[in-house]
Structure 1
C-alpha cells in the first residue's frame, strides 16, 4: 500500500466567501510528482493556500501529511507547515540577511536550537541545490535562478513530506526553468513528494508526469496522449 500524503474528498475551496472549486476529490501518494495546471484565475493559488492552511477548508474532507484540514486548529498550523515545504514564484527571501541567515531564520522559527546541527543542515540543503558556495551572499547578489534554488533549499530544511511549488519557474527564462526543474525532479527521485503549479506547458512536455487540471470550478486528471 502506498502512503497517502494528501487526500481530499468532496472538498469545496473558498476564497473568502467565493466558491472557487467544488467537489474536489483526489489522492497524492508518497513519492509522486504532480503538476497542477489551469488558467489564471482558475483557483490554483486558492487550492494551494488551502493545503498549507492559509485558507480554511470549509466543506468536505481533507487530510494532508497526517493533519485533518477540516478540523485543523490555529495552534496546529505551524506544526503542519513544518511538514510541508512551500516554494513561491517570487522566492520570498529576506533581503536584509545573507542566504545562510535566511535559512537559519527558518530553522530557528521551526524549533531548531543547536548551532552546529543548524549549520550542518543548511550546508546539506545548499549542496543539494548546487549553491553550497553562496551562503555568505545576499539575495540581491544572486540571479533569479539562483534565488529560486535557495528557495527550494529553504523548502527542504525540515525534510518535508510534501513540497508545494507554486509556479516555481514563473519568473525565470526557459533555460533557467529547465535547470530548476532538473533540481525538483532530482529531489523527487530522492523520495520527496512534489505538487507543482505551473503555466509552462513546455516543461510538462519535456518532463511528463501526472497532471491535474483546474477548469470551470472543477479539478480532474489530464490523460496525457502517448506520442
Structure 2
C-alpha cells in the first residue's frame, strides 16, 4: 500500500482573515497524479500555497511529505519545500542568467556545494525535459513551452517527493500544453506524485486522472464525466 503524501482533515484555509475553503478532507497517496480544478478565485492557489506553507494552516490538521502543517515552525519551512517541487504558470525564471545559472542558483540556495555533483544534476534534469542542449540560453531566448520545461527541470533538482504545478499550461497554446503535459506524465510514470491545478479540461480528457474540484468553499473529488 503506497504511503500518504498529502492529507488534510477538517482543514479551513484562510487568506489573512478571509475564509477561502472550509472542512477540507483530502488524501493523496505517493505516486498519484491528481488534478485540481475550479473557477478563478475558487481557492485552488490558496489550497496549493497551504501545502507548501506559504499560507499557514489555521484550523484542522494537515500533513505533507511527513511534515505537520498545523505545527510547522517557520524554521522547518525550507526543509518541507525541499521535499516539494513547485511549477508556476509564469515560469519564474531569473531573466538575468542563463538556464544553467538558473538551476545552479537553486542548488546553491538549497545547500549544494560540489561543482561536479551540481553539473551532473543539472544535466540530468535538463535531459529529462529534453532541454539539455539549451543550457547556455537565457529565458527570453526560449519559447513559452521551453521555459516551462526548464521550470519543471528546476522543480526536479532536489528529487522532490511531490510536484505542485499551478496552472503549468496556463500561458501555453494547446499543442505546447500537450507537449508539456507529456513531460509531466513521464515524470509521473517514474513514480513521482504530482498535483496539478488547471483550467484546461481538454488536457484532463486527454490524460485522465483523479480530479479534485474547488467550488463554493469546498474541495471534493469529481467523477470524470461531470468535469
- TM-score relative to the length of structure 2: 0.99
**Aligned-partner Cα distance in 2 for 1:157–1:5:** 19
- Tell me which residue corresponds to 2:145: 145
- Tell me which residue corresponds to 1:6: 6
RMSD: 0.8
Q: How does 1:70-85 map to 2 (within 5 A)?
A: 70-85=70-85
TM-superposed CA distance for 1:36, in Å, is 0.1
**Aligned-partner Cα distance in 2 for 1:102–1:109:** 11
**Aligned-partner Cα distance in 2 for 1:92–1:224:** 31
Task: Please state whether the residue corresponding to 1:131 is helix, strand or coil.
Answer: coil
**Aligned-partner Cα distance in 1 for 2:98–2:225:** 45
**Aligned-partner Cα distance in 1 for 2:14–2:125:** 35
TM-superposed CA distance for 1:99, in Å, is 0.2
**Aligned-partner Cα distance in 1 for 2:225–2:59:** 34
Number of aligned residues: 226
Structure 1 gaps, min length 5: none
- Tell me which residue corresponds to 1:113: 113
Residue-by-residue CA offset, 1:127-181 (whole Å, 9 max, x unaligned): 0000000100000000000000000000000010000000000000000000000
Task: Please state whether the residue corresponding to 1:180 is helix, strand or coil.
Answer: helix
| Structure 1 residue runs of 4 or more that deviate by more than 3 Å after TM superposition | none
Q: How does 1:90-169 map to 2 (within 5 A)?
A: 90-169=90-169
- TM-score relative to the length of structure 1: 0.99
TM-superposed CA distance for 1:225, in Å, is 3.2
- Tell me which residue corresponds to 1:182: 182
**Aligned-partner Cα distance in 2 for 1:109–1:53:** 18
- Tell me which residue corresponds to 2:66: 66
